[in-house]
Structure 1
């Protein structure tokens, strides 16, 4: 089993990936929902970090200095990913931003490793919709010696349209000029889970697959 397949089963087992009917922030009614807030124990977040670490290594090797996570969901992601990288023999830094700047002592907008203009960062987040949180993070980093963000790694590419006919991630990627990678894509999830039992139950059968395909006929974008 590949780490991507393991990750898909992990999403299902944790309840982070569900199938049904869900109203998204965009107003769309989707037949699937991804909630990374379900990684709510030490064991789960530790394991999640290993998948981010594998994806970071796959796409960037060791050619970076640290992992950045935007507050709040990105904080445990950058820390757990850095810990997993250390266990794999890559001892890299981590850093995350404060939501509210301190007015005393250390007034830096970030917490963690020291940043310079030569620091090479990989940004990790759960999912990207509009890219607003990412742009806010980049603005913060510009005020902190302006380190170089080499790329972004998220959990799932939902392969949906953004504000145009393009894939939402590709829109954000073009706006930011930074490559974005996901641990898995919706296509990976569909192909692996269709009619497969996970924890004794088939979560993606033919009727649900038909609903997903119908939804993607309207909102899908590779």
Structure 2
């Protein structure tokens, strides 16, 4: 049975909070910045949570061009891309090949670092949780290009909408450098709108201050 319901960012934020995926408070990031929120998509570790995330990815992809193959970077991206392939079939009756990479090349059996659908000569969408510095995405892009793929775009769960090394965000840097679209299911603005609607004035003020300092 299929459903035509669409992804609801506010419902996703509710679920993320209930699972501890999203937390508000004070969190020191790898960059040294003290963030008023933290997002860990690895905690989307049950059927309901993963289904909602995958539906969001599927709803985005169905409106994107050149979706020949979807690809999940190891390790978090692997369950995301598998679930998204299922969601595309269940919700949109679209069967899309999917694959992923290994962290280390396999020297027996089929060998190599790529598993799943062939990517040579295909337009590939990369699915991941968040782009922080862009390093991991660039590594995966190089792996795919070396295998003969063309990168069609990147789809992530969260856009932090904050500056990277310069005036652009990490997502904007990737878009500019690789000349590809990068889409996100939710953004920092969605989180702020959520807090505003819930009357969480203290958390909202912290988010506003952080965005004033680091936002794009």
Compute the TM-score of the two structures, normalised by the length of structure 2: 0.91
Partner of 1:168: 170
Q: Measure, in 2, the Cα distance between the counterparts of 1:211 and 1:188.
A: 15
Unaligned runs of 5+ in 2: 1-5
Alignment check: 8 A CA contact 1:195 1:206 kept? no
Shift of 1:12: 1.8
Match of 2:207 among 202, 209, 212: 212
Residue 32 (str. 1) matches residue 37 (str. 2): yes
Residue 134 (str. 1) matches residue 141 (str. 2): no
Partner of 1:64: 67
Q: Measure, in 1, the Cα distance between the counterparts of 2:171 and 2:178.
A: 10
Shift of 1:10: 2.2
Alignment check: 8 A CA contact 1:127 1:157 kept? yes
Shift of 1:74: 0.7
Unaligned runs of 5+ in 1: 197-203
Residue 95 (str. 1) matches residue 103 (str. 2): no
Q: Deviations over 1:52-100 (max 9, x none)?
A: 1112223x06x41121011011111111111100112010011100111
Alignment check: 8 A CA contact 2:7 2:52 kept? no
**Counterparts of residues 1-222 of structure 1 (less than 5 Å):** 3-58=8-63, 60=64, 63-87=66-90, 88-117=92-121, 119-144=122-147, 146-196=148-198, 205-221=200-216
Matched residues, number: 210
Aligned CA-pair RMSD: 1.6
Compute the TM-score of the two structures, normalised by the length of structure 1: 0.89
